[in-house]
Amino acid sequence: MTTPDNSPVLNNTTTSDTSAVKTESSGMWGGRFSEATDAFVAQFTASVQFDQRLYRQDIQGSIAHATMLASVGVLTDAERDDIIKGLSSIQADIESGRFEWRIDLEDVHMNIEHRLTNLIGITGKKLHTGRSRNDQVATDIRLYLRDEIDQLMQLLAKLERGILTLASQHTDTIMPGFTHLQTAQPVTFGHHLMAWFEMLLRDGERLIDLRRRVNRLPLGSAALAGTTYPINREYTAKLLGFEAVCENSLDAVSDRDFAIEFTSAAALIMMHLSRISEELVLWTSAQFRFVQIPDRFCTGSSIMPQKKNPDVPELIRGKSGRVYGDLMSLLTLMKGQPLAYNKDNQEDKEPLFDAIDTVRGSLLAFADMIPALVPNIEVMKEAALRGFSTATDLADYLVKKNIPFRDAHEIVGKAVALGVRENRDLSELTLAELQQFSSLIEQDVFAVLTLSGSVAARDHLGGTAPRQVKAAIERAAGRLEALLG
C-alpha cells in the first residue's frame, strides 16, 4: 500500500511486535547495552513512519557510497556490485509495495540496510563503513529537497506561464486599482496580473538561489569528526550531482539551515498565493463580480442552492498558516542545539515534508485554475468609473498648466466633492462646472478624464499603459526562461 505521495506505508502490524523490539533494536548498537529498548520508547523514537519517503534518496546515496568505497579499495568490485544489485532489488520491492517496513528497525536507513544484509549476507554489513546515520540522513534530506525544489520550479513556471497567457489577452481591459481596498486609479487587468507574475518570479529566484546551498554533500562527515578510511568525498559528490562538499564535519551533520531556508521561501510562496487568493475571493463575490472561477474549482452549499464557493482560493489562503507553522517549528527546533548532531533533528522531517507537500498542492491547483479565470470586462470597467479614479489625472492636468501640485490637489478635491453631491463622475461634470474651480480647465480636460486616457498616459517602464503591459509580458517570458536555464 502507498500514500498519496507514493511513499510506502508502514505495516501497522509491526508496531505492537514487542518481541521484535527486544531482539533487533539493541543489536543495532552492538554490545554497549545490557537490556533491550523499551517497546514504547522504540515506537516513540522511531521515524520510519515518515522518513520512509526518503527511500529513493537513501538508496541513491548508498550506491554512490559503495561505488566510492570500491574506488579507494575499501570494498572489492564484486562487493560493490553485490551491494548495488541488492539495493536495486530493495528499491523495486519498495515501489511495488512488497517491502515490509519494521518499526523496531527505527528508520528508513536501518530498514534498508537490514534487508540488504538478509539479501546478500555479510557484504551488506560492509556498506556502512566510513559513514554514520548522521551524515547519511543529512545527505538523504538534501537529495530529497533538491529533487523537490526542481519539481516546484516546474509548477511555478507552469503557473507563471498561465498568468502571462491570461495577461496577454487583457492588456486593454480596464479595472480599478486599489489602495486601502478603495478605488484609487484605473489600471489594466493585464497589468494587475503581471504584479502576480513578479511576486512568483521572485519566489522562483529564491528557490534557485537556495538550491545551491542545499546542493552540498555532507556524506563523509560520519558521526561528527570524519572517518579514518581513505574516502574520496569529491568523487561521491560527483556521483550524486552535488556542486560542492560541506567543508566542516560538525556543521555538516548537525545544521538544518538549508531546510529552514527552504521553508522560509515556501512561506513566502504561500504568502503570495494567499494574497492572490484573497483577491479572488473578493472578486468572485456578488459585490465585486470581477471574475468567474470555473465550476470545477468551486463547490456549492448543502443548504443554499444558489451558492458557488471559491473553495480552492479559500483553502490555499488557509494553508499558508500551516507553512508558517512549519517554518517556526524548524527555527525553534534548531535554536538551542549544541554541536554536533542531536536526536532533536529527527523532528526536522515532518515540518519540511509538510511544507513541500502544501506548496506543491497549492501550486498545482493554481497552475490549473488561474489561466481558466474569466474576467467580467464590463463589470470591471463600470467599477473603475466609480470612486473618481481619474482624480489624479485631473491634478496632473492642472500641474501641467503651471498650478502647484498642492493647489491642484485642493482644486480637484472640490471637484470631487461636487461629484459626490451630484452622484456623477468627474468625466460627467460639465466644462462650466469644472471651470468654477479653475479657469485654466479647458475642453481638452475630458481626454484625460476617460479611463482609457488615464491608463494610456502611464506609458513608461512599469506603467499600466497597454503598450507597456505588452512589452512587460514579452520581457517576462524571457526572464522566466532564463531563470529556468
Cα–Cα distance for residue pair 198/160, rounded to 1 Å? 9
Active site residue 301: yes
Residue with cell 560542492: 244
Catalytic residue among 65, 109, 301, 389: 301
Cβ–Cβ under 8 Å, residues 317 and 281? yes
Active site residue 128: no
**DSSP codes, 258-286:** HHHHHHHHHHHHHHHHHHHHHHHHHHTST
Residue 371, class by beta-carbon neighbours within 10 Å (0-12 exposed, 13-18 middle, 19+ buried)? middle
CA angle 232, 61, 127 (to 5 degrees): 75
Nearest Cα to Cα of residue 448 among 406, 402, 405, 389: 389
CA distances from 180 to 121, 189, 217, 264, 272 (A): 70, 18, 48, 27, 18
Which residues are paired to 185 by β-bridges?
177
Phi, psi of 222 (to 5 degrees): 55, -140
**Which residues touch 219 (CB under 8 Å, ≥6 apart)?**
61, 64, 65, 131, 135, 136, 138, 139, 233, 236, 240
Residue with cell 471559491: 310
Task: Please give the grid coordinates belonging to residue 160.
Answer: 507563471
Torsion of Cα atoms, 293 then 189 then 288 then 420, to 10°: -170
Task: Please give the grid coordinates belonging to residue 190.
Answer: 493585464
Nearest Cα to Cα of residue 342 among 258, 410, 260, 253: 253
Cα–Cα distance for residue pair 457/140, rounded to 1 Å? 55
Cβ–Cβ under 8 Å, residues 175 and 186? yes
DSSP designation for 386:
T
Nearest Cα to Cα of residue 446 among 426, 424, 421: 426
Catalytic residue among 26, 168, 180, 460: 180
CA angle 355, 203, 369 (to 5 degrees): 75
Residues with catalytic roles: 180, 301
